[in-house]
Structure 1
Amino acid sequence: MGILNLTPDSFSDGGKFNDGKLALEHTEKLVRDGAEIIDIGPQSTRPNAEFLSSEEEINRIGNVISQIKKEFPEILISLDTFYAETVKFGYNEGIDIINDISGGQYDEKMFDTAAETRLPYILMHINPSYDTMHDKIKFKDITVEVNKYFSQKINELLQKGVKDIILDPGFGFGKTVEDQMKMIDEVGYLGFGKFPLLIGISRKSFIYKPLGKSPLDINEETQKLHMKVLEQGAKILRVHDVAEAKKTLVQFLQKK
């Protein structure tokens, strides 16, 4: 899954691709490098990011989804939003997957909308409100807590009729460095083995800050962690650097 940020304020590539032509050019590079899913993000969720309404998200997306669908019909598009209205807009434009960082907690209509569209839904673990999204919580046992959350939310989704669920443990959101490294070690225990697991650790601060490096300077460390999660059963890697992740994936498949 290659990341396409349409935001002027994302932490590592803000403002680079928030123009329709540039977005298409970057998509072409992601696809050329091996991406099979393009994750479109109209709103930054880094700490202290600008908060956008659904209307502002939709305006920012414009016709990017339909343009990508036209140019790259074989590529799946996921839409990174916590708004039901943005999902409805994306559905009409041709998205294939809902990527909701909020687990339905920031918009009470999200689960119903996921059910109505019948799109696959990415369920991420996160704190219960937008304002507390990045508040660091020291969990007694992070793996147990994330699985409890998944269990509750999966039951809600199944009751609504959403059956195609992908799980994201929520690296980079309200978790200590220690807990995130523990999650890396215990990825194999996350998600009950029934649902595909998406891992999004690309350019995350729990990797680069302890090393005293920048988000753009941790490729080697990130790929080692990618290999570790793949070996434990992770199915989707959400990344900025598709070509490097692809190399790791090829190495992993050769080892099997």
Structure 2
Amino acid sequence: MAEKNFFEPKQSLNIKGRLIDLSTPKVMGILNITPDSFYHNSRTKTIDEALSKAAQFLSEGATFIDVGGYSSRPGAQDISTSEETDRLVPVVESLVKAFPEAIISIDTFRAKVARETIEAGAHIINDIAAGNLDEQMFETVARMQVPYIMMHMKGTPQNMQQNPVYNNVLLEVIDDLAKKVAALKALHIHDVIIDPGFGFGKTTEHNYELLKQMEAFKIFKLPVLVGFSRKGMVYKTLGITAPEALNGTSVLNTIALQKGAGILRVHDVKEAVECVRLVERLAHGG
């Protein structure tokens, strides 16, 4: 039995003693507390707006709510740690009070923001930089003992799309993440989620190459999160705009689910939940 468990992929997360089963994929709704996120309809300007959107996500079937106070779109404006914290903490406190059963993820690459939002009641840290932009991040996550989403990104949000180059994008992304996984295990961080980082320091061609070979990430035996929602790899390929990219997003989400994705990070929860239900129905037949 021990040998079987060793070789099986990890399919659960420990959220402050509460086990979340990922054997059926889950959906994460994006809640942007920013004025400049690339998709205009995802922005929330007030706590009431944030609570309303969170309520919608939960009613549509989201398992996680990912709250971000720093836009990571290409060329996004850099803001201070204190401004990011000031945007996030009141929202987290309000979400915890209004939806005590909700699982809140914090989209940040800063250790101080991670610590203060977890102390405010959040449950997961979602780091687009995999520790590269704050050397204290891994130690902070280890000390807080919370699940950690680790994304691959080449560069920073300000420069990541300035001619990113790889000799072999799949091997380089896997190699980089493997080193990070080893460092996290050494710190006894038990719940790690892998994010290949679609759209972060990658051309459209790189993104589709990663998606085409996404089964390769099963080597980690860890949950895999994907985020295609309304990104350039959808709308640029189709010659449309981000507001028109929901159908294309659903197509890529479906492909990713068939290739092993455990979490879909999306702006549109209802449609992503429908993708999960249909793919699961196909997988289990009948």
Residue 72 in 1 paired to residue 99 in 2? yes
Partner of 1:159: 186
**Alignment check: 8 A CA contact 2:123 2:146 kept:** yes
- Residue 266 of structure 2 aligns to a residue whose secondary structure is coil
- Residue 36 of structure 2 aligns to a residue whose secondary structure is coil
Residue 49 in 1 paired to residue 76 in 2? yes
Identify the range of structure 1 (195-204 vs 185-194) with the bigger mean alpha-carbon deviation.
185-194
Residue 40 in 1 paired to residue 67 in 2? yes
Distance 1:163 1:7 in 2: 31
Q: Which runs of 5+ in 2 are unaligned?
A: 1-27
Partner of 2:48: 21
Residue 202 in 1 paired to residue 229 in 2? yes
Residue 146 in 1 paired to residue 183 in 2? no
**Percent of counterpart pairs with the same letter?**
38
Structure with more contact order per residue of length (Cα contacts < 8 Å, sep ≥ 6): 2
Q: What pairs up with 1:148-227 in 2 under 5 angstroms?
A: 148-227=175-254
CA shift for structure 1 position 148: 0.2
2:95 partner amino acid: I
TM-score, length basis structure 2: 0.86
1:17 partner amino acid: T
Distance 2:173 2:218 in 1: 8
Aligned length: 256
Q: Which runs of 5+ in 1 are unaligned?
A: none
Distance 1:177 1:15 in 2: 22
1:51 partner amino acid: D
**Alignment check: 8 A CA contact 2:30 2:67 kept:** yes
Moved over 6 A (4+): none
Partner of 2:128: 101
Identify the range of structure 1 (240-249 vs 58-67) with the bigger mean alpha-carbon deviation.
58-67
- Residue 238 of structure 1 aligns to a residue whose secondary structure is strand
Distance 1:190 1:143 in 2: 9
CA shift for structure 1 position 160: 1.7
Partner of 2:35: 8
**Alignment check: 8 A CA contact 1:9 1:15 kept:** no
**Alignment check: 8 A CA contact 2:74 2:157 kept:** no
Distance 1:253 1:73 in 2: 28
**Residues 116-147 of structure 1 deviation map (CA, whole Å, 9 limit, x = unaligned):** 00100011001144543333323222111111
Identify the range of structure 1 (80-89 vs 123-132) with the bigger mean alpha-carbon deviation.
123-132
Q: What pairs up with 1:115-154 in 2 under 5 angstroms?
A: 115-129=142-156, 131-154=158-181
Choose the corresponding residue for 2:273, options 238, 241, 246: 246
CA RMSD of aligned residues (A): 1.4
Identify the range of structure 1 (54-63 vs 147-156) with the bigger mean alpha-carbon deviation.
54-63
**Residues 220-253 of structure 1 deviation map (CA, whole Å, 9 limit, x = unaligned):** 2211111111011110000000011111111011
